[in-house]
């Protein structure tokens, strides 16, 4: 085989290999894009992809990347009381627009409006319910015992008695001669 034939064989093999590698790369990119789209199809996936790095998987503000170094730290999303429309504006415009950290970007430039709405609904679902504060029991008219803190009164009285004993001991020591202590 002459040199030209060998060169043609090597070039043909290189072209076939390159075409094969290009097809494999395109297939990989296609599979990766499909997996990304499937992941981002759920509000939880959107949150995990864009928010969990700083706010944490549970939304408590303890993310896996820089949350311990951030100043101010990432917000605890479970304690937020913003309604869905306020959250949507906050996410869309970024937190700096509302006087918060400039580290949370305006996601409206990256996330579609439909996915922003789904994300806002997901953030509302992360919230812990507001604590229920029990009302004090109603008292009957003339019921003094419930109004006056008898236990606190007894404690204060006991403290005065202890202080009186301590003062009396100091007085006795002050009147004793040095050698009789």
Residue 156 lies in a domain: no
Residue 64 lies in a domain: yes
| Block residue for tokens 């996410």 | 91
Q: What is the mean pLDDT of residues 76-97?
A: 87
pLDDT for 52-75, tens place per residue?
A: 888 888 888 887 766 566 677 788
| Mean pLDDT score across all residues of the chain | 77
Range of the domain at 53: 43-125
Residue 53 lies in a domain: yes
pLDDT for 161-173, tens place per residue?
A: 999 999 998 888 8
* pLDDT at res. 1: 60
Q: What is the mean pLDDT of residues 105-131?
A: 86
Contact 148, 70 (CB under 8 A): no
Residue 9 lies in a domain: no
Residue 130 lies in a domain: no
How many residues belong to the chain? 181
* pLDDT at res. 134: 64
Residue 172 lies in a domain: no
Number of domains in the chain: 1
What pTM did the predictor assign? 0.54
**Residue 141's Cα: distance from chain center in Å?**
48
């Amino acid at each position: 085989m002459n040199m030209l034939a060998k060169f043609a064989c090597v070039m043909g093999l290189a072209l076939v290999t390159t075409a094969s590698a290009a097809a494999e790369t395109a297939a990989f990119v296609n599979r990766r894009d499909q997996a990304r789209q499937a992941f981002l199809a759920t509000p939880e996936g959107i949150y995990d992809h864009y928010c969990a790095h700083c706010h944490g998987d549970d939304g408590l503000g303890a993310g896996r990347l820089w949350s311990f170094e951030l100043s101010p730290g990432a917000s605890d999303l479970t304690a937020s009381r913003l309604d869905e429309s306020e959250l949507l504006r906050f996410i869309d415009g970024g937190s700096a627009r509302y006087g918060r950290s400039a580290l949370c970007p305006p996601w409206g430039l990256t996330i579609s409006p439909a996915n922003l709405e789904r994300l806002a609904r997901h953030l509302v679902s992360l919230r812990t319910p507001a604590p229920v504060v029990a009302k004090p029991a109603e008292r009957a008219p003339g019921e003094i015992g419930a109004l006056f803190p008898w236990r606190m009164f007894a404690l204060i009285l006991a403290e005065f008695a202890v202080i009186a004993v301590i003062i009396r001991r100091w007085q006795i020591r002050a009147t004793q001669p040095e050698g009789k202590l």
